[in-house]
């Protein structure tokens, strides 16, 4: 609480859902399938039974949607604030587990879905919170932001991608999920694979709503994609030979490639300039 | 922090150790063997890298002592206070898993080791903290309390009991570990097994140091055993037929028996009076 979520605008049922998604997303990102979860809670005295029942409703819906068994956990009290910890257990075929460390020079860099939406949804929620604090009688205007709000409040993990890669006979050389922003994840793969990463700004997939809201708020969509997070899309590298399978596939976008470590981690802007990729912290809620 | 531990008198290396013990103790209590652990941390800004390294040293020593692999976890920030969550994964033979729900009328009630030491150690630490706050120049006098301090600050899980029961060809009908106090655990077994529990006060095993310190502090040793906690001993029930195997065994004490649910959960005092067993909360640190 106060780090990954703000209870003032996070519906409790979504909070439970989102905590499960964040945990299982890491297992999909290893080309595995989550099977069980354990939940531990530290509760402050202000937390009621009804409150926790709502959180658990969200957890149970996530378990249903993703075929998970809730097999245990722990509960304790907390001096201040709510803490939720989810442990996910899953399985992967031994010869198909994908790590962050296998990217090779000349591999293609690929991302699923679109990026930056969760961050942009958060900006809207924070703006509405400020408006509400100043004008408690105001009605929130959220209808036109449905996609990005859902991206933030109730994200999904890309469980569909794992069988899809299998059908396409693609085994990524490295993979991870985008929970801290594209820049940060690229740098993780680069460091652990001992390579450099090139990202083309113009290739980064943004939803039209993300782009539009970004313009109205004065936030660059690229910045949201690079430094936002919690999109829970998958980022992976594959050999060049897989290009034709991915090129026009609606679920995938090729956004760059892997280069020699000595050439660094860079983004090539729409204008053709080169910028270093940097991981920038951001507030998660 | 502030619930299960007080950083002002918990050495960090012991804190890491103790968190692992608390988690794996539950697996031994199901007649299983823990194999892997995952640790999640929420850290406030006052927590330094050196601080966490010390905590992890304790974790690694526990992993070594108990044959565990540390296979994952998560780290996040916390608005206030340190939160540590340990998930333990283990295995048990399918036909030898012991639950809390299998106790039968006339079964013997058995406990390992001695009780109340952890609670008494905590009282000494709290007293020394008060002394220190009033007289910062005073040297703590802790040498004579070595056993109970160790029971509190660096408890062990009874991994030795699992193969021992196996050697003795004893399969408990129910079992759990004593983390919240003997009373509370008896009531858990009673409720989940749909039975009543009888405890003889005079049979409750106390270490001489627990008894002696209790006298000097004006705390009854029985109270410490019943309502203290974090002794991480095992409490279990077995059929009467196992009496001879347990009767004079140094690791076990028969402290009571299982009766019909309608006869309730009671303690028979040294003076022969009957008292209802009650679970009383206590501060864990």
More confident residue, B167 or A5: B167
Extract the residue ranges of chain B whose pLDDT is less than 70.
3, 281-285
pLDDT surpassing 70 at residue A282: no
pLDDT surpassing 70 at residue A78: yes
Q: What percent of chain A has pLDDT over 70?
A: 97
Residue range A176-182: average pLDDT? Answer: 95
The whole model's pTM is what?
0.82
Look up residue A272 and give its two tokens.
Answer: 């053709």
Of A74, A80, A87, the CB nearest to B81: A80
CA distances from B197 to A94, B29, B98, B267 (A): 49, 18, 18, 8
SS3 B272: coil
Please give the pLDDT value at position A73: 85
pLDDT surpassing 50 at residue A164: yes
pLDDT surpassing 90 at residue A13: no
With beta carbons under 8 A apart, name residues in chain B contacting A24: none
Query: Is B38 in contact with A4 (Cβ distance < 8 A)?
Result: no
Phi-psi bin for A215: left (phi > 0), alpha (psi -120 to 50), beta?
alpha
- Give which of A45, A71, A83, A85 to mutate to test B binding, by max B Cβ within 10 Å: A85
Please give the pLDDT value at position A102: 97
Look up residue B256 and give its two tokens.
Answer: 């009571």
pLDDT tens sequence across A91-121: 999 999 999 999 999 999 999 999 999 999 9
Please give the pLDDT value at position B281: 54
pLDDT surpassing 80 at residue A218: yes
Of B40, B74, B81, the CB nearest to A79: B81
pLDDT tens sequence across B118-159: 999 999 988 888 887 788 777 777 778 999 999 999 999 999
Please give the pLDDT value at position B285: 39
| A83 inside 8 A of chain B by CB | yes
Could you report the predicted ipTM of this complex, rounded to two decimals? 0.71
CA angle B118, B120, B122 (to 5 degrees): 70
Sheet strand arrangement including A69-77: A69-77, A33-43, A83-91
pLDDT tens sequence across A48-76: 888 888 889 999 999 999 999 999 888 88
CB B179 within 8 A of CB B229: yes
pLDDT tens sequence across A17-30: 999 999 999 999 99
- Least confident piece of the model among A16-20, A252-256, A277-281: A277-281
Of B40, B79, B85, the CB nearest to A2: B79
């Amino acid at each position: 609480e106060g780090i990954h979520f703000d209870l003032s605008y996070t519906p409790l049922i979504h909070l439970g859902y989102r905590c499960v998604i964040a945990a299982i997303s890491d297992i999909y990102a290893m080309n595995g399938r989550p099977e069980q979860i354990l939940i531990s809670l530290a509760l402050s005295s202000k937390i009621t039974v009804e409150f926790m029942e709502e959180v658990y409703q969200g957890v149970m819906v996530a378990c249903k949607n993703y075929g998970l068994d809730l097999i245990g956990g722990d509960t304790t009290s907390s001096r201040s604030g709510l803490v939720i910890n989810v442990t996910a257990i899953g399985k992967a075929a031994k010869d198909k587990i994908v790590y962050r460390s296998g990217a090779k020079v000349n591999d293609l860099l690929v991302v699923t879905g679109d990026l930056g939406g969760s961050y942009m949804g958060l900006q809207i929620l924070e703006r509405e919170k400020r408006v509400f604090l100043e004008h408690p009688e105001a009605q929130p205007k959220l209808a036109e932001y449905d996609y990005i709000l859902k991206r933030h409040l109730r994200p999904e993990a890309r469980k569909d991608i794992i069988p899809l890669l299998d059908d396409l006979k693609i085994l990524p050389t490295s993979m991870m999920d985008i929970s801290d922003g594209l820049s940060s994840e690229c740098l993780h793969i680069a460091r652990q694979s001992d390579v450099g990463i090139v990202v083309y700004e113009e290739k980064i997939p943004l939803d039209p709503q993300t782009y539009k809201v970004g313009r109205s708020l004065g936030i660059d969509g690229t910045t949201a994609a690079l430094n936002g997070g919690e999109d829970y899309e998958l980022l992976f590298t594959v050999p060049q030979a897989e290009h034709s399978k991915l090129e026009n596939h609606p679920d995938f976008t090729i956004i760059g490639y892997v280069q020699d470590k000595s050439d660094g981690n860079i983004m090539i802007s729409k204008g053709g300039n080169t910028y270093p990729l940097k991981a920038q912290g951001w507030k998660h809620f």
